[in-house]
């Protein structure tokens, strides 16, 4: 049978054949090189990781009594002789050689072999459960070596896996083709080759041309070259590696779990789905070629669940990466030919969605929002990509029946917003959901606690399933509920799947100014008042985009029974937040509150059952108070002194914290917030890392932070140049510098 490559034309001969084979050989060499480079980088990690894992396994085995060996062999192994010889734990047996065991009276060759086999079986089971924890605050030589080795692979990024997968496939394909095509490189060899060999050579040349041209279209030679360069860079310095680990620790731990083979229990990672559903989802091969990020195992399963089950709800607990799972599902469909996708979300997360799609994938994203939403929608219809719009805008767009295209997937974030079918937003979502084959609802609210809400949502996705969902399923417990609704619902909890992650996850929440926010901000810029610019996003509480997102985050934490600490530099911002949240709010802690009273408020907050919110001025709560009852930290604005943020977060992320701490920093795009983030990011991160870990920095932030007045002046001047000043307004950047000290 002739290969598909023959469709490109007749197979080349002579010089053209030789040139084609040379191109294929170079491509094969590049593929093998990138595989070797990755293998060396992985070996460097394993050289440090394996002894660490062996030590952890040894520690666990040292706590397992010798009698467990009998359980493994169902009582067939007698350990009396070992006990009489002084063995007490499985660890002692596992560390002993076969020869040494045979020296024990009463232990023959067969018994020694069975004993070591049983100990090895337990050791393998233990190894599947242990996980290396990297202590950022107490680094030692071993963990530093591990972080440096991991840094090489993390820095190279998700392209490493894509390059390795493509290189493996190419090597497997090109090797036999080059061998078969060999005679075609010489007319003499072709003359003396048999007819069958000549036929195989021509077919191989056709297939080689297809493979080489396909690799060029996918830019694989460039990918292989870049990944090899990245993997061959000199090792990072210890300080640089530790700083990078702190900034993106989740990527380090994801890679660590992959290389160590450790991770969450599979049933937990798969949401305790029934076996038949889990098997069907697991069988789907997720195409990650359009992704720019490596997925954790449970995230990849979530993306496959969305694709395989077609119309589902992913209700993972907050902090588990529902957004990246949705993007992975879209990227898979795009890699398989999909062109149009639609995301509907609250206005408060629209910017986050556009940023995340761009950062995590190669997909084109088109915000459909604001005054030019109709033009943006028409552009999406014509050219495709991921359209991101809001609940309030969706109903103003042409209905799916009128649209020129039907999206390959509809994603609805914060799907509990459409639980009431009578609302306009719910009707608009339902109209699109009815016509789209694949629909993915995302919500962090546990549906087993709100069965009526779930029934309403699932009615839009799987109407046939809704009548079977009753309140008794929720009353029977979360696992019983999840099994009952398995075809349409997947939820994982942090405790189930983040056992090996560090207890700190940072999320920047980018918001877009509302009209009222922008008016207040422009006025502050025109007057040159830096501090007023920083809190302009809260000047009109009823229309504040930041405040709306804060309410959503607190609401999701309430649904999961989590405690929240809200920090701001400004007392008036905290007052606004307190009024917006209402009940279950403690504080605010501020400089005017006596130290003893501050501790009383923290104690009362910690003692409250379930969800509660503590408000704190960042200067008052950032030092000396332990808030480890909280697992969600919200920063109302970025700080001029980064150490203030680190110290405040450290109040919750410290010894005694048993949950992953989520840090949400509220930021306004195209504003003082973005200027501060950009300017402070350009500081020397290594110096900042050293200083922050010193005792001096803990007590004297001014020693390492940038000048308030310098930063304020630069930002005010930049913003006054960027934004036109209203007629008659006055103000100067110097005024902002003097304004910088007042935390009112």
Tell me where in the chain the CATH 3.40.50.300 domain(s) lie: 504-739
Closest CA to 69 of 106, 103, 99, 114: 114
Where are the domain boundaries for CATH 3.40.50.10810 in the chain?
A: 263-497
Please name which of 473, 437, 207 lies closest in space to residue 341, comparing C-alpha atoms.
437
> Cβ distance 617 to 743 under 8 Å?
yes
Instruction: Look at the block and give the residue holding tokens 């606004």.
Output: 576
d(CA 529, CA 556): 35
Closest by CA position to 178, among listed 200, 196, 160, 204:
204
Q: For residues 424, 426, 431 and 435, what is the CA-based torsion angle, rounded to 10 degrees?
A: 160
Residue 666, strand partner residues? 509
pLDDT, one tens digit per residue, over 635-675 is: 999 988 776 787 777 666 554 455 678 899 999 999 999 98
Task: Copy the structure tokens of residue 366.
Answer: 């088109």
Tokens 């060029």: give the residue: 216
Give the pLDDT score at 135: 78
Segments in 270-338 forming alpha helices (H): 275-282, 297-309, 322-335
- Which residues of the chain carry a pLDDT beneath 50? 1-7, 191-192, 473-477, 501, 623-624, 655-656, 684-706, 733-738, 740-742
Please name the helix (run of DSSP H) or strand (run of DSSP E) that holds residue 244, with its range, or none. helix 238-247
Tokens of 519: 């008016």
Whole-structure pTM over 0.75, yes or no?
no
Residue 270, judged by CB atoms within 10 A of its CB (0-12, 13-18, 19+), counts as buried
- The C-alpha atoms of residue 52 and residue 48 are separated, in whole angstroms, by 7
pLDDT value, residue 447: 65
CB 82, CB 107: distance < 8 Å: yes
Collapsed DSSP state (helix, strand, coil) of residue 269: helix
**Quick one: CA dihedral 77, 81, 82, 84, positive or negative?**
positive
Distances (CA, A) of 450 to 453, 472, 474, 481, 715: 5, 11, 8, 11, 47
**Contacting residues for 649 by C-beta, under 8 A, at least 6 apart:** 504, 633, 661, 663
- In sequence order, the 6+-apart residues with CB closer than 8 A to the CB of 276 are none
Query: What single DSSP character describes residue 208?
Result: H
pLDDT of residue 382: 92
Q: Tell me the C-alpha distance between 525 and 540, whole Å.
A: 16
Say which CATH superfamily domain 504-739 falls into: P-loop containing nucleotide triphosphate hydrolases (3.40.50.300)
Which run of H or E residues covers position 57? helix 14-61
**DSSP SS3 for 240:** helix
Q: In terms of DSSP H, where are the helices of 62-194?
A: 68-72, 80-84, 90-94, 98-102, 109-127, 141-156, 159-181, 187-192
pLDDT at site 473? 46
Q: Provide DSSP, 375-432.
A: HHHHHHHHH-EEEEEEHHHHTTSPPTTTSS---SEEEESSGGGG--TTSHHHHHHHHH
pLDDT of residue 657: 53
Query: Taking the CA atoms of the chain, what radius of gyration do you get in angstroms?
Result: 30
Joined together, the tokens standing for residue 19 give 């040139």
- At residue 738, the pLDDT reads 41
Q: What pLDDT was estimated at residue 655?
A: 42
Interstrand relation of 385-390 and 365-367 (parallel, antiparallel or unpaired): parallel
Helices 451-461 and 424-435 cross at an angle (nearest 10°) of 40
Task: Report d(CA 610, CA 385) in Å as an integer.
Answer: 42
Between CA 372 and CA 391 the distance in angstroms is 16
pLDDT of residue 292: 86
- Listed residue (513, 468, 509) closest to 487, CA to CA: 468
Phi-psi region of 272 (alpha: psi -120 to 50; beta: other; left: phi over 0): left
Chain-centroid distance of CA 469 in Å reads 32
Of 438, 106, 476, 480, which Cα lies nearest the Cα of 305?
A: 438
CA angle 401, 407, 411 (to 5 degrees): 110
CA distances from 212 to 31, 63, 215, 620 (A): 12, 57, 5, 64
Residue 480, pLDDT score: 62
Please give the DSSP secondary-structure letter assigned to residue 740.
T
**Residues of the chain by 3-state class (helix, strand, coil), percent to 5:** 60, 10, 30
Question: What CATH number should be reported for the domain whose range is 263-497?
Answer: 3.40.50.10810
- Report helix angle 159-181 to 220-231, nearest 10: 120
CB 667 within 8 A of CB 509: yes
Q: Which residue has the tokens 């999320």?
A: 507
Q: Does residue 440 sit in helix, strand or coil?
A: strand
- Would you call 507 helix, strand, or coil by DSSP? strand
The predicted structure's pLDDT at residue 427: 92
Q: How far apart are CA 531 and CA 738, in angstroms?
A: 9
């Amino acid at each position: 049978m002739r290969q598909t490559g023959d469709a490109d034309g007749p197979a080349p001969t002579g010089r053209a054949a030789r040139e084609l084979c040379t191109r294929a050989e170079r491509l094969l060499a590049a593929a093998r090189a990138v595989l070797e480079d990755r293998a060396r980088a992985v070996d460097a990690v394993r050289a440090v990781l394996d002894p660490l894992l062996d030590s952890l396994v040894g520690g666990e085995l040292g706590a397992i009594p010798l009698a467990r060996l009998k359980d493994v062999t169902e009582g067939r192994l007698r350990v009396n002789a070992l006990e009489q010889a002084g063995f007490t734990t499985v660890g002692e047996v596992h560390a002993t050689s076969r020869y040494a065991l045979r020296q024990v009276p009463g232990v023959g060759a067969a018994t020694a072999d069975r004993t070591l086999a049983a100990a090895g079986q337990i050791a393998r089971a233990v190894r599947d459960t242990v996980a290396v924890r990297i202590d950022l605050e107490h680094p030692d030589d071993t963990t530093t070596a591990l972080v440096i080795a991991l840094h090489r692979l993390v820095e190279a990024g998700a392209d490493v896996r894509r390059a390795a997968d493509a290189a493996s496939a190419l090597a497997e394909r090109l090797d036999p083709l080059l061998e078969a095509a060999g005679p075609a490189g010489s007319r003499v060899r072709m003359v003396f080759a048999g007819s069958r060999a000549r036929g195989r050579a021509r077919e191989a040349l056709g297939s080689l041309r297809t493979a080489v041209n396909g690799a060029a279209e996918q830019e694989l030679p460039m990918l292989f070259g870049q990944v090899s360069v990245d993997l061959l860079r000199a090792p990072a310095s210890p300080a640089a590696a530790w700083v990078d680990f702190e900034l993106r620790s989740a990527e380090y731990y994801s890679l660590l779990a992959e290389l160590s083979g450790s991770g969450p229990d599979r049933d937990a990672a798969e949401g305790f789905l029934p076996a038949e559903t889990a098997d069907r989802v697991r069988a789907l091969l997720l195409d990650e070629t359009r992704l720019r990020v490596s997925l954790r195992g449970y995230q990849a399963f979530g993306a496959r669940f969305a694709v395989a089950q077609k119309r589902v709800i992913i209700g993972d607990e907050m902090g588990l990466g529902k957004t990246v799972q949705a993007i992975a599902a879209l990227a898979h469909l795009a890699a398989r030919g999909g062109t149009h996708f639609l995301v509907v979300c609250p206005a408060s997360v629209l910017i986050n969605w556009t940023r995340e799609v761009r950062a995590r994938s190669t997909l084109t994203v088109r915000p459909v929002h604001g005054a030019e939403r109709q033009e943006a929608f028409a552009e999406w219809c014509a050219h495709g990509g991921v359209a991101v719009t809001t609940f309030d805008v969706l109903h103003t767009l042409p209905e799916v029946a009128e649209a020129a295209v039907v999206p390959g997937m509809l994603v609805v974030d914060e799907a509990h917003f459409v639980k009431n079918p009578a609302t306009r937003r719910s009707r608009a979502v339902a109209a699109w959901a009815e016509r789209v084959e694949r629909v993915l609802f995302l919500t962090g609210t546990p549906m087993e606690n709100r069965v009526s809400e779930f029934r309403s949502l699932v009615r839009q996705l799987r109407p046939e399933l809704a009548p079977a969902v009753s309140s008794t399923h929720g009353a029977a417990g979360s696992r019983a509920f999840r099994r009952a609704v398995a075809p349409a619902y997947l939820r994982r909890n942090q405790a189930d799947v983040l056992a090996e992650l560090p207890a700190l996850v940072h999320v920047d929440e980018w918001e877009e100014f509302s009209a009222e926010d922008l008016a207040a901000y422009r006025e502050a810029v025109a007057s040159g008042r830096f501090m007023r610019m920083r809190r302009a996003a809260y000047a009109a509480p009823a229309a504040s985009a930041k405040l709306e997102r804060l309410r959503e985050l607190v609401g999701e934490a309430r649904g999961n029974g989590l405690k929240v600490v809200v920090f701001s530099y400004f007392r008036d911002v905290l007052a606004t937040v307190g009024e917006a949240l209402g009940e279950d709010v403690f504080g605010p802690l501020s400089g005017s509150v006596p130290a003893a009273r501050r501790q009383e408020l923290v104690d009362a907050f910690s003692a409250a059952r379930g969800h509660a919110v503590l408000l704190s001025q960042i200067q008052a709560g950032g030092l000396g108070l332990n808030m480890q009852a909280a697992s969600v930290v919200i920063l109302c604005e970025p700080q001029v002194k980064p150490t203030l943020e680190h110290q405040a977060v450290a109040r919750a992320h410290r010894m005694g914290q048993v949950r992953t701490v989520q840090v949400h920093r509220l930021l306004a795009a195209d504003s003082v917030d973005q200027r501060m983030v950009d300017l402070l990011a350009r500081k020397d991160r290594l110096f900042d890392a050293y200083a922050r870990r010193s005792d001096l920095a803990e007590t004297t932030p001014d020693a390492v932070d940038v000048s308030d007045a310098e930063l304020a002046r630069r930002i005010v001047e930049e913003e006054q140049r960027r934004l036109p000043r209203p007629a008659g307004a006055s103000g100067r950047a110097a005024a902002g510098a003097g304004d910088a000290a007042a935390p009112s």
